[in-house]
Amino acid sequence: MQEENKEPKRKLSLTGLKRLLSLLKFMWPKRWAFFGGLGALVISSLGTLAFPMLLGDLLDAANPEASLSRINQIALILLIIFAVNAVFSYFRIYLFAIVTQFMLARLRQTTYNQLIRLPMAFFSARRVGELNSRITADIAILQETFTFTIAQFIRQLITIIGGISLLTLISFKLTLFMLAFVPLVAIGARVFGKKVRNLSKDAQSQVAASNVIVEETLQGISNVKAFSNELYESSRYFNATNEVIRIALKGAKWRALFISLIVFSLFTSIVGVIWFGVYLVNQGAGISSGDLFKFILYTLFIGASISGMADLYSQVQKAIGATDSLLDILEEETEPETMAECKDKVQLKGNLSFKHVSFAYPSRPGVQVLDGIDFDVKTGQKIALVGASGAGKTTITALLFRFYEPDSGTIYLDDIPAKKISLNCLRKQMAIVPQEVLLFGGTIYENIAYGNTEATALQVEEAALKANALEFINSFPDGFQTIVGERGVQLSGGQKQRIAIARAILRDPKILVLDEATSALDTASESQVQQALNTLMIGRTSIIIAHRLSTIREADRILVIDKGKIVESGSHEELLARDNGKYLALQQMAV
């Protein structure tokens, strides 16, 4: 599991930087704030560079020959620079915050809109936690990058380039002497920095692995308790978090060595520069004590900027990794027209045909799930699909909703190929009541209204009445405003099913899919739900998947699916009359 969660190591490359900078298109509407913040950054950085120069001049003025007016003038200029620097620093931070918050909101919105438009094949190959981290963890990294890292990177670059230029003006010899230390520091920083970055990535991957354990355990907490596996799950999490400690401490050792190297190199360089500078002053090489003081301050500024570049480099690498993860999602091909208006305005009657349909899931291309499926359904008919688990019943409904496209063959709706009907139009005229009802964590009203977000309160109440749900809803103190809890945990199985039926009634679909809608219920709940289902199916084309064969006796036709093929077709009585038939065997097993 640990290996699966490790992300590929990202190297800082021109392509990676281009992909990172491509995200700037999300901030383009706020470009005025971006360029304003950039201008404020440049001015405040240049103001900082003027500080050592003026401070050196002030030190040179510390002699009996200097006039008091000159000293006061330098001090006043310094105060003005500090004030200007403070003002522009404020605008830099505020303007960059405007740009970053707007940009990240746009990026979150775009990523979310893209995610919910992606095909089912995409979701079947990924974990929910992994996708959620794209909108949370990855965008948090980008927030740090665009709020702090880029600004600091530009500031450090201005400091290094401007500082070295000013050093050259002060003393060319001393500048060459100082720069001789840079390659040694850079090589050490490269070696240690690479090791620290790799260990940091390993630690992040291990933290992600431990988070997956928490997520899966909490999602399946009922199973954990039912199997008394609290100790096992605690042990799994204990081992995962201990591995985080081991990797983090190993990283801490290398980071300590890295920082020690930088500190030692920095102070060694400063001592060397001071020594050589004093030597030049004593030799009368045209450098004053004030110039030496300027030089030392600029050396400190440059040294701090170079050492800070290592952290910025690491942050940019992480941002490139986060960018790649987000762009991988944004570049995925979405389902067509899922969020567009229903342009073709096709009004379905409910006729349905599968013609020679074959299909294998993209994640298992070698396993044929459906093999030459053929059947026709007329408007208002009730068709039942029965067969063993894995026979392909649910896959038929998945193709009907166009969650996937057939590998071969065609699905027709009112003699129109399903591919020629926009997804939005198609799905707006269909509804499903699944075996495991997923309710959202809001109110009962919101969950019913999910079937038609434009419905009135009266229509929602009528749907609840037809679904045999109004009585239990009104028994709650808050009625329709009762919070159902995450995944509907506050409601019983039968109550959740009737909420799902009310949702489908509100949808007023032409084609209805019932996927084992009563198989997990007790007898009393099943009776109430079945009554609601009977009301729902009136006048609608209904596809019923059932394990309980007693629930499909009234179906107009029953299709027996076995290994992806329709092996029998007929009414309940016709199929029972067949000697050694598959349906008869299923009926006998159910007794």
Q: Where do the domains of the chain lie?
A: 11-171+320-334, 172-286, 340-429+547-591
Mean of per-residue pLDDT scores for the chain? 78
CA 180 to chain centre: 46
pLDDT above 90 (res 551): no
DSSP 72-117: HHHHHHHHHHHHHHHHHHHHHHHHHHHHHHHHHHHHHHHHHHHHHH
Find out whether 300 and 386 touch, Cβ atoms under 8 Å.
Answer: no
Report which residue type is found at 289.
Answer: S
Of residues 53 and 451, more confidently modeled? 451
| Per-residue confidence (pLDDT) for residue 376, from 0 to 100 | 92
| Per-residue confidence (pLDDT) for residue 185, from 0 to 100 | 66
pLDDT above 50 (res 286): yes
pLDDT above 60 (res 60): yes
Pick the CATH number of 340-429+547-591 from 2.40.50.140, 3.40.50.300, 3.40.190.10, 3.90.650.10: 3.40.50.300
Cα angle 570-576-580, degrees, rounded to a multiple of 5: 105
* 410 membership: H or E segment, kind and range: strand 408-413
| Per-residue confidence (pLDDT) for residue 435, from 0 to 100 | 75
Of residues 373 and 264, more confidently modeled? 373
| Per-residue confidence (pLDDT) for residue 408, from 0 to 100 | 92
* Residue 255: CB atoms within 10 Å: 17
Report which residue type is found at 133.
Answer: S
As a whole number of angstroms, the distance between CA 589 and CA 268 comes to: 86
Confidence class for position 195, pLDDT limits 50, 70, 90? low
The tens digit of pLDDT for each residue in 132-167 reads: 766 777 777 777 777 777 778 888 888 888 888 887
pLDDT above 70 (res 48): yes
Residue 319 corresponds to which tokens in the numbers above?
């941002």
Residue 570 dihedral angles phi and psi, to the nearest 5°: 160, -175
As a whole number of angstroms, the distance between CA 540 and CA 582 comes to: 28
In the DSSP assignment, the letter for residue 392 is S
Confidence class for position 9, pLDDT limits 50, 70, 90? very low
Helix, strand or coil, per DSSP, at residue 441: coil
| Per-residue confidence (pLDDT) for residue 283, from 0 to 100 | 72
Of residues 348 and 262, more confidently modeled? 348
The tens digit of pLDDT for each residue in 480-534 reads: 898 887 666 678 878 888 888 888 888 888 898 888 766 555 566 667 777 777 7
Of residues 283 and 10, more confidently modeled? 283
The tens digit of pLDDT for each residue in 225-270 reads: 776 777 877 888 888 888 878 877 877 777 777 777 777 777 777 7
As a whole number of angstroms, the distance between CA 278 and CA 287 comes to: 9
- 11-171+320-334: what CATH class? mainly alpha
Mean pLDDT lowest among 35-44, 163-172, 337-346: 337-346
As a whole number of angstroms, the distance between CA 88 and CA 90 comes to: 5
The residues, any chain, with a CB within 8 Å of residue 108's CB and separated by 6 or more, are 135, 139
Mean pLDDT lowest among 62-71, 242-251, 296-305, 544-553: 62-71
Exposure letters 158-172 (e unless 16+ CB within 10 A, then b) = bbbebbbebbeebbe
Find out whether 495 and 468 touch, Cβ atoms under 8 Å.
Answer: no
As a whole number of angstroms, the distance between CA 538 and CA 532 comes to: 10
DSSP 343-383: SS-------EEEEEEEE--TT-TTS-SEEEEEEEE-TT-EE
Find out whether 562 and 388 touch, Cβ atoms under 8 Å.
Answer: yes
Confidence class for position 357, pLDDT limits 50, 70, 90? very high
Find out whether 325 and 193 touch, Cβ atoms under 8 Å.
Answer: no
The tens digit of pLDDT for each residue in 572-591 reads: 888 888 878 888 887 776 55
* 234 membership: H or E segment, kind and range: helix 230-282
| Per-residue confidence (pLDDT) for residue 3, from 0 to 100 | 39
Cα angle 75-76-81, degrees, rounded to a multiple of 5: 100
Cα–Cα separations (whole angstroms), residue 549 to 197, 398, 493, 497, 577:
60, 22, 20, 19, 15
| Per-residue confidence (pLDDT) for residue 390, from 0 to 100 | 82
As a whole number of angstroms, the distance between CA 430 and CA 432 comes to: 7
Average pLDDT for 103-130 = 79
As a whole number of angstroms, the distance between CA 142 and CA 151 comes to: 13
pLDDT above 50 (res 6): no
Average pLDDT for 561-582 = 86
The tens digit of pLDDT for each residue in 382-437 reads: 899 988 888 888 899 989 988 888 999 999 999 889 888 888 888 888 888 887 77
Q: Which of 522, 127, 123, 142 is nearest to 332 (CA)?
A: 123
Mean pLDDT lowest among 130-134, 357-361, 374-378: 130-134
As a whole number of angstroms, the distance between CA 270 and CA 264 comes to: 10
* Residue 484: CB atoms within 10 Å: 20
As a whole number of angstroms, the distance between CA 493 and CA 520 comes to: 8
Average pLDDT for 72-78 = 80
Q: What percent of the chain has pLDDT over 90?
A: 7
Q: Is this prediction's pTM over 0.85?
A: no
Alpha helices in 457-515 (DSSP H): 457-466, 470-475, 493-507
pLDDT above 90 (res 294): no
Of residues 198 and 503, more confidently modeled? 503
H helices, E strands: number in the chain: 22, 10
Find out whether 386 and 546 touch, Cβ atoms under 8 Å.
Answer: yes
Neighbour-count burial of 224, counting CB atoms closer than 10 A to its CB (0-12 exposed, 13-18 middle, 19+ buried) = middle
